[in-house]
Structure 1
Amino acid sequence: MMNQKKIAGEKACEWIKDGMIVGLGTGSTVYYTIEKLGDMVAKGLQITGVATSEETAKQAEKLGIPLKSLNDVTEIDVTIDGADEIDADFQGIKGGGGALLREKMVANASLKNIWVVSEEKLVRNLGEFPLPLEVIPFGWKQIQRELEKDDIETNLRKQSSGEVYVTNNGNYILDIVNQTFTDTAMWQEKLAQIPGVVEHGLFLDYVDMIICGKANGEIELIKK
């Protein structure tokens, strides 16, 4: 079977031009984008990357892609990132890789956002994939209890070792499970009002184009 992630990730490089500032996402699909960009930089492409995670920064540096911090750029020409789910209205869930806060900040600074995915990420309704909340460690249990009052079930994310997962920003992640997110605007408002929730993984009205790799080797471009 064709590697859907690889073909989608590499296809996105066609939208990268000389002189661009490029947001570099995090995850298993955009990994291939960054690998391909590394080849293009080695052959003379001149770009500056803005990484959304320490993992992505390490990969880019190893490949010789020049990087700047988000503080050092005024805007980003295009960001290429993955997604965990996307519905028909171009609303998505991100944060499976734990980088949702930086990913959203970079997306917000970008003139164009392209998401690279394999076809199973396209869904009718959001929610089969857990919705991550980045929360400060102080009082995280209070946030969990607050959500439980509304029958919202969460799991504290842990590493395979059993240790609590800590984001690049020093925070924890609570994953909302067993929930369908049909009224995404309502959820966005609700979660934003809970003290201690730094960011949530609902990405509403960010993406401009989806590059979807299919099992048969075809690539579908889905534009708004």
Structure 2
Amino acid sequence: MEQTYYEKKEAGEAAVDLIHNKMVIGLGTGSTVYHTINKLGEKMKDEKLDVTCVSTSSNTTEFAKQLGIKLVALNDVQDIDLTIDGADEIDGDFRAIKGGGGALLFEKIVASSSRKVAIIVDSTKYVDTIGAYPLPVEVLPFGYKYVFERMVREGFQPNLRKMGNDPFITDSGNFILDINVSNIIDKVDTINLEKYINNIPGVIENGLFTNIVDVIYIGKKDGVEVKNREKGD
């Protein structure tokens, strides 16, 4: 646990070096991004850095505001220079599964609006092939049982995410189904799988991030490894 915390902190803080004056930054959600936001707050004070940030969740917004980080809505910026976010899993093909914190919809919109996307993870999250972690799928509460039963029929073994006895509610007011893709992730094209899931009526978005990530910061016990995606991949 202590080692994982150290690796998250190292990766999260290292990615702040990508941030420069006058940039528009997308801030992701989760325990690793917490370290990025904290370090950014320090850098803004120490270097008189002027950056504008777009948040992907209410938790990120609250923490960033505590540090005096300037936040704007996505609709108020033309585009985003850089987004820094975590992942539940990411592999060497720069495919990621995100949404363990429930912010996958806003995270994907912000990442897709960005010129560059950096993913920060500890060493346990960098895997040979994604799929061991359940894939979050955000669904409308209206008719979510249809989506659930459809997922059952197609072998995805869905689970309705809950908080206590009630369904977990995303910031956009939706439910999340966590599904199993471990048996098919290497048998199908990930882009087609992403589209297939999203085409089910009632599905808002899923946590597959394909052809979005540009650089990965991996915290390790001996430092941070940086992997850059080659152009054309």
Shift of 1:179: 2.9
- 2:25 equivalent in structure 1: 22
Matches within 5 A, 1:48-127: 48-127=52-131
Q: Residues of 1 paired with 2:136 and 2:17: CA distance? A: 31
Letter in 1 for 2:35: Y
Once the two structures are superposed, what CA deviation does each residue of 1:44-87 show, in whole Å capped at 9, x if it has no partner?
11100100001000000000000000000010000000011112
SS in 1 for 2:158: strand
The answer to whether residue 160 in structure 2 is matched with residue 153 in structure 1 is no
Matches of 1:186 and 1:77, distance apart in 2: 28
Aligned length: 222
User: Unaligned stretches of 5+ in structure 2?
Assistant: none
The one-letter code of the counterpart of 1:201 is: G
Q: Is contact 2:135–2:181 with CA below 8 Å preserved after alignment? A: no
**Distance in 1 between the 2:126 and 2:90 partners?**
5
Q: Which consecutive unaligned segments of at least 5 residues does structure 1 have?
A: none
Aligned mates of 1:114, 1:88 — CA distance in 2: 14
With the length of structure 2 as denominator, give the TM-score of the two structures: 0.92
Q: How does 1:201-220 map to 2 (within 5 A)?
A: 201-214=207-220, 216-220=221-225
Same amino acid, percent of matched pairs:
47
**4+ long deviations beyond 3 Å:** none
CA–CA distance in 2 between the matches of 1:151 and 1:208?
Answer: 32
Instruction: Give, in angstroms, the shift of residue 177 of structure 1.
Output: 2.6
Alpha-carbon shift at residue 211 of structure 1 (Å): 0.4
Residue number among 162, 167, 171 corresponding to 1:164 in the alignment: 167
Q: Distance in 1 between matches of 2:118 and 2:202?
A: 30
TM-score by length of structure 1 reads: 0.96
C-alpha distance in structure 1 between counterparts of 2:181 and 2:17, whole Å: 38
Q: Which stretch shows the higher mean deviation, 77-86 or 176-185?
A: 176-185
